[in-house]
Amino acid sequence: MNTKIIKRLKERDAYFTVVWSGLKKAEKYEIKGSVPAEAGVFELYYMDEKKRLNLMYISRVWFGGLRSTIRKLTDPVLEFNPKWKDILNRHDCYYRYTLSTNSSDMEDVLYYFSEVLFPGAGRCIDSGRYESIYLIEESPENFDTV
């Protein structure tokens, strides 16, 4: 599957399709060999005792690329935050990503996820280019963030 963010415009509205990579278990050698060192948006999950995936983190990366960022955030040896380190040591972690060469599009996609997952929290700001932002997701597992 070709991971990417696709954008269609209609008047002052943006319609994004986020095409995710497959959801993969975070293993440092697999990440090093398969995740591109390119810009994009990624999600990190951990699997709890009831075998449910829990969203840990969603972000975009520009400098440094997806490979190094996902690799660092999923390795308990490299992590300094005690809470995060505890999760990494106790649970299997998973990730997925999509590529993008447009920083403003990534900003709008994260804004959408933020507003749906954490309404009113003001965690992200959109690019200000559009009146409304809409989004759908595609993934090999038919697994959606929202």
pLDDT tens for each residue of 86-97: 999 999 999 999
CA dist., res. 128 & res. 118, Å (int): 19
Residues 6+ apart with CB under 8 A from 84: 56, 73
The mean pLDDT value of the chain amounts to 93
What residues pair up with 9 in beta bridges, in sequence order?
14
Q: What are phi and psi of 3, to 5 degrees?
A: -75, 130
Q: What value does the mean pLDDT take over residues 97-108?
A: 97
Find the domain containing 73 and state its range: 4-138
pLDDT tens for each residue of 52-91: 999 999 999 998 899 999 999 999 998 888 998 999 999 9
Among 101, 128, 125, 118, which Cα is nearest to 7's? 101
**Residue 103 within a domain:** yes
Q: What is the CATH number of the domain that holds 119?
A: 3.40.1440
Number of domains in the chain: 1
**Residue 144 within a domain:** no
Question: How sure is the predictor about 146, in pLDDT bands with cuts at 50, 70 and 90?
Answer: low
**Residue 145 within a domain:** no
